Structure 1
Amino acid sequence: MTDPTVPTRTVDAVVLGAGVAGLYQLHQLREQGLTVQAFDAAGDVGGTWWWNRYPGARFDSEGYIYQYLFDEKLYKEWAWSQKFPGQPEIESWLRYVTDRLDLRRDIRFDTRVTAAHYDEDRGRWTVRTDRGDVVDTQFFVSCAGMLSAPLHDIEGADTFAGQLAYSSSYPAGGLDLAGKRVGVVGVGATGIQIIQTIASEVGHLTVFARGPQYALPMKNPTYTEADQQRYHARFDELRETIPHTFTGFEYDFEHVWADCTPEQRREILEEIYADGSLKLWLASFGEMFFVQEVSDEISEFVREKMRERLHHDPYLVETLVPTDYGFGTHRVPLENGYFEVYHRENVDLVNCRRTPIARIRPEGVELADGTVHELDVLILATGFDAGTGALTRIDIRGRGGRSLAEEWGRDIRTTMGLAKHGYPNLLTTATPLAPSAALCNMTTCLQQQTEWITEAIATLRAEGRSVIEPTAEGEDAWVDHHEEVAGATLVANTTSWYLGSNVPGKPRRLLSYIGGVGTYRQKCAEEAANGYPAFTRT
């Protein structure tokens, strides 16, 4: 038997996760000459795109910007079939990247990291997994993702007698839904994709709507070879533009509300709405995030579009059209025929704000008034413990045995979303207080963060040092800056997973840095250029 206290392997770095960030981080650290071991609980590469195999899963970032931009040949030798590709194609792309860069040999799949403890005397981490690995490593780099800790928050799910699936771990082979009574809980981005995809396939669909969402129509053309060549030819332009925009997309805010007449504003909104992308959210009028009057008018514009497609049905409008928060202050999904689903004879909609779900029973879903909706299949799209959940579910202990789960349970703090005071050589992506915690085209931000981490490690080694850790003062300064920026926006006043509101007891803080992707990138670059003043290095 293996001694659980004796390392089974000694490496320079452990990378947690083999999704978009983890793959690129592994590649960069290997290129630097480090020995690296990556772990992922999934059966193959892909991160969120391996787990989220539910019907209708797809990008709502354009495929040609949701790509790695560090290698022109890697970019141009892959071609998307659609503007917003679906999950199977996305998973194939990530396998293509993995094999092109020969990454598999350093990834251990079907292996969940359960603990990581820092040894102050040795300046190293001991990382343990559910497969018995005990890895001694200098650096522990988290690329676990910001939406990778699913919430299972409805009583009685384990008693359901039919087929039950969580959207976050949907069976790879799918489910046979034809002719069956199917229930979907949740109408967020995931629920919308599932509902619009399966409505025509099932015998009867019951949608349990817990919170209404603004949603924009998606236009998803199929790409010809000429289309693919066109966007390939833009590689240099995209590489120079995308990292510096407000949200890491190719487009940015182009219009100033005060400079336009009411007629011009309407014309601009109509034109951008017709684009069939997230442009209305991310490239119309930036004032919507700061000025209540602007938020109200743009929100009403989107509500009007939604009400029209719901045929102004009072019950559908009440259940599906938001009125208590502004457009863009929550995640905005794209949809394709979603609102029309509710006009089908085989679809029922349950307003769970009127009558909440009490529990799941063997025969179906029971509401607070005692009504039971009998089902053959139940799909739960109930969200995530965003930003923090992936790491708080691991026993991570820093200096003095301090617990990351306990610290984040009291107050969610990081230094630029890249590190945490008290946890030397723990470097992170997609954690709170960086744009990658929600408000960014993920590949844009994850590339930037992994590149920063790679440079920090290279600099440390070149200087003959071995440990990097944020100072308490550096962390305080970043948290104060984050709060100042967030407090100036309407986003900080809403109730959503953006602020951890969907997790009982979670400290309230805007998880994502909202100062802009380009601004964040500049601040990270300045930190490195100035010799890492917010960090100690020994």
Structure 2
Amino acid sequence: MSNQNGVSEDLDVLIVGAGFSGLYQLQICRKLGYNYKVFDDAADIGGTWYWNRYPGARVDSPTPIYSFSAEELWKDWNWTERYPGWKEIRAYFQHVEDKLGLKKDITFNTRVVSAEWDDGEHRWTVKTNNGLVVHPRFLILATGALTVPYTPAFKGVEKFRGVCHHTGRWPEEGVDVKGKRVAVVGTGATGVQVIQEIGPEVGHLTVFQRTPNFCLPMGQAKLDVKTQTKQKPLYPTYFRFRIQTVAGFLYNPYPKDYTSSTPEERILRQEEYWARGGFQSIGAFNDTRINQESNDALYAFWRSKVRARIRDPKMQEKLAPMVPPHPIGGRRASLEQTYYEVFNQDNVDLIDLNENPIAEFTSKGIVTGDGKEHEFDVIVLATGWDGVTGAMTKIDIRGIDGQTVAEKWKDGVYTNLGMTVSGFPNMFFTYGPQAPTAFSNGPSCVEPQGDWIAGVIKHMMKNGFTKIEATPEAEQNWRGMVMGIYDKLLMKNARGWWNGANIPGKAVEVLSFPGGIPTYFNKCTEVVENGYEGFVLSGKGSGRV
């Protein structure tokens, strides 16, 4: 590669990231014959599934929906579980590699540190941590929504002499917790998965909880080859239908309001959907996101289900309080299998950080606000992520006027279609801010986005355009629509990574498009049909075309 000799390289497309989105984009570039490269900070493909290897790590979207839609990738692949664990997801990515041979086009262990737009050449200058320099016409950031681990500024965390890891950077060789004194800080999705996985084998477990997680039944099931083989004629229909549903799964909420249903309908419908498991288990009525009475009733139903599994009344109140701290569905729910049963164990404690916060870390463990020192052998930091925007803002990306993306978004996110930013021409991103992202199944979002981006680039190359930029008016309108939808939803009364409230100093606002996948992609299609309305296209050296 010419870069090894210090020579920079012109490209049609640079893709940053080798997860679902980056690999899908790579396949498109290959088919269209572009001059392209893919950079990834990891040592292998998989994106978030390269890093997610903590105990209990498992996908929360069911198969086969959580996979690529191409027939060549599913026709001779079979899953062993409805919700596969991280090892099986990794095996799936290896299957994709065996079929497509993608790795030869990916430069691993290579982190993009900066990107600067050259308005004279209509190209980006992209630099990496290991000295590579490329000049792509188009920059596609497939950097993911949950890829930047966040650890609060705990006092003295460096003093701890035991084993301490964030779930997002768990060692490949794993950590032995059998018989050990273990702390889990955080009860988000990763915390829930770790707790239910290690709970039965640790010597003592202490869970530090700030906000109870309104966990839903996973509805896990073993899968066999015979059954999947019979279903595969329907797979093309599944994959077409998933982008016709609100969240990219194979279902929509039941099309009737809770408030207009009879008492008998309410009970039977809730029980029916709960028995299905997954995120669908709270989709029995279509007004729970907007109607407080409906939301309160759903929470009461959820609370009764959870409390029935917890023996200690005090623990019941900590994990499923009588008064909810936020609307149910207002934060990302986690799917669980045995989470609540762990808290029935005599060797498990729960510390409410609202009543007794972490004061500092010591060489032996953690001191809480009451002055007590809790000694541990292992501390698991399940403290979350700088979600949706973090992977982009941590790169020094400078647009036309030298402003960085981080600076532009300091007080709030502005995009057009959740894929472009005014002032940053020829830059696209997938599964990022103001797209369905956090409110959707990943592949259901990134495949249509990848197709849309590829359509733009193909149109430009065919017609001699070398620059496309979203207009400020278009991104103002897009932001207005996103915020307008959000303002009607009860989730605006919750705080978490969905709205950036977990990161100090981050603007608190909805970070994903809350209007559903069909509405989102209809809007994207309309823009193309209207001649790329909201964008300015031009050719290098010839002014506007």
Normalised TM-score (structure 2): 0.95
- Deviation at residue 487 of structure 1 after TM alignment: 0.9
Give the Cα separation in 2 of the matches to 1:395 and 1:179. 45
How far does the alpha carbon of each residue in 1:150-206 deviate from its partner, in whole angstroms, 9 at most, with x for none?
Answer: 101133222210011110011111111111111111111110010000011111111
Give the Cα separation in 2 of the matches to 1:80 and 1:474. 43
Give the Cα separation in 1 of the matches to 2:235 and 2:3. 51
How far does the alpha carbon of each residue in 1:94-150 deviate from its partner, in whole angstroms, 9 at most, with x for none?
Answer: 122133222111111111111111111111111111111111111110000011111
Residue of structure 2 equivalent to 1:468? 468
Contact kept in structure 2, 1:64 and 1:231, CA below 8 Å = no
Residue of structure 2 equivalent to 1:85? 84
Residue of structure 1 equivalent to 2:175? 175
How far does the alpha carbon of each residue in 1:296-343 deviate from its partner, in whole angstroms, 9 at most, with x for none?
Answer: 110111011111111352244225547121111110111011101011
Residue of structure 2 equivalent to 1:340? 341
- The 5 A counterparts of 1:381-400 are 381-400=382-401
Give the Cα separation in 2 of the matches to 1:319 and 1:273. 19
Query: What is the percent sequence identity of the aligned residues?
Result: 38
- The 5 A counterparts of 1:156-171 are 156-171=156-171
Give the Cα separation in 1 of the matches to 2:536 and 2:458. 15
Contact kept in structure 2, 1:183 and 1:207, CA below 8 Å = yes
Q: For 2:382, give the aligned amino acid.
A: A
How far does the alpha carbon of each residue in 1:389-410 deviate from its partner, in whole angstroms, 9 at most, with x for none?
Answer: 0011111100021111111112
Give the Cα separation in 2 of the matches to 1:98 and 1:529. 35
- Deviation at residue 52 of structure 1 after TM alignment: 0.8
Contact kept in structure 2, 1:205 and 1:346, CA below 8 Å = yes
Give the Cα separation in 2 of the matches to 1:138 and 1:365. 50
- Deviation at residue 218 of structure 1 after TM alignment: 1.7
Give the Cα separation in 2 of the matches to 1:431 and 1:514. 13
Residue of structure 2 equivalent to 1:141? 140
Contact kept in structure 2, 1:272 and 1:280, CA below 8 Å = yes
1:106 aligns with 2:90: no
Q: For 1:180, give the aligned amino acid.
A: K
Give the Cα separation in 2 of the matches to 1:53 and 1:522. 36
SS in 2 for 1:92: helix
Give the Cα separation in 1 of the matches to 2:285 and 2:7. 55
Contact kept in structure 2, 1:144 and 1:390, CA below 8 Å = yes
Q: For 2:100, give the aligned amino acid.
A: L
Residue of structure 1 equivalent to 2:444? 444
- Deviation at residue 80 of structure 1 after TM alignment: 0.4
Give the Cα separation in 2 of the matches to 1:294 and 1:3. 59
Give the Cα separation in 1 of the matches to 2:348 and 2:364. 19
Give the Cα separation in 2 of the matches to 1:240 and 1:387. 26
Give the Cα separation in 2 of the matches to 1:482 and 1:3. 42
Is the alpha carbon distance of 1:467 and 1:342 closer, same or farther for their aligned partners in structure 2, counting shifts above 3 Å? same
SS in 2 for 1:161: coil
Bigger CA drift: 478-487 or 321-330? Answer: 321-330
Q: For 1:224, give the aligned amino acid.
A: D
SS in 2 for 1:410: coil
Give the Cα separation in 2 of the matches to 1:528 and 1:335. 41
SS in 1 for 2:332: coil
Residue of structure 2 equivalent to 1:374? 375
- The 5 A counterparts of 1:167-246 are 167-246=167-246
- Deviation at residue 231 of structure 1 after TM alignment: 3.1
Residue of structure 2 equivalent to 1:432? 433
Give the Cα separation in 2 of the matches to 1:533 and 1:346. 61
Give the Cα separation in 2 of the matches to 1:413 and 1:92. 37
Bigger CA drift: 487-496 or 242-251? Answer: 487-496
Contact kept in structure 1, 2:21 and 2:430, CA below 8 Å = yes
Give the Cα separation in 1 of the matches to 2:233 and 2:334. 29
Q: For 1:149, give the aligned amino acid.
A: V
Give the Cα separation in 2 of the matches to 1:326 and 1:298. 10
- Deviation at residue 10 of structure 1 after TM alignment: 2.1
1:499 aligns with 2:482: no
1:355 aligns with 2:356: yes
Normalised TM-score (structure 1): 0.96
Is the alpha carbon distance of 1:159 and 1:9 closer, same or farther for their aligned partners in structure 2, counting shifts above 3 Å? farther
Residue of structure 2 equivalent to 1:326? 327
Residue of structure 1 equivalent to 2:256? 256
- Deviation at residue 280 of structure 1 after TM alignment: 2.2
SS in 2 for 1:286: coil
Q: Which ranges in structure 2 are unaligned for 5 or more consecutive residues?
A: 539-545
Give the Cα separation in 2 of the matches to 1:477 and 1:165. 42
Residue of structure 2 equivalent to 1:76? 75
SS in 2 for 1:434: coil
Q: Which ranges in structure 1 are unaligned for 5 or more consecutive residues?
A: none
- Deviation at residue 6 of structure 1 after TM alignment: 6.3
Give the Cα separation in 2 of the matches to 1:326 and 1:494. 7
Residue of structure 1 equivalent to 2:513? 513
Contact kept in structure 2, 1:7 and 1:136, CA below 8 Å = no
- Deviation at residue 225 of structure 1 after TM alignment: 1.7
Residue of structure 2 equivalent to 1:94? 93
SS in 1 for 2:193: helix
SS in 2 for 1:289: coil
Give the Cα separation in 2 of the matches to 1:302 and 1:223. 28
Contact kept in structure 2, 1:15 and 1:140, CA below 8 Å = yes
Contact kept in structure 2, 1:209 and 1:319, CA below 8 Å = no
- Deviation at residue 221 of structure 1 after TM alignment: 1.4
Give the Cα separation in 1 of the matches to 2:7 and 2:334. 45
Instruction: Quote the RMSD (CA, aligned, Å).
Output: 1.6
SS in 2 for 1:264: helix
Contact kept in structure 1, 2:312 and 2:344, CA below 8 Å = no
Give the Cα separation in 1 of the matches to 2:168 and 2:230. 34
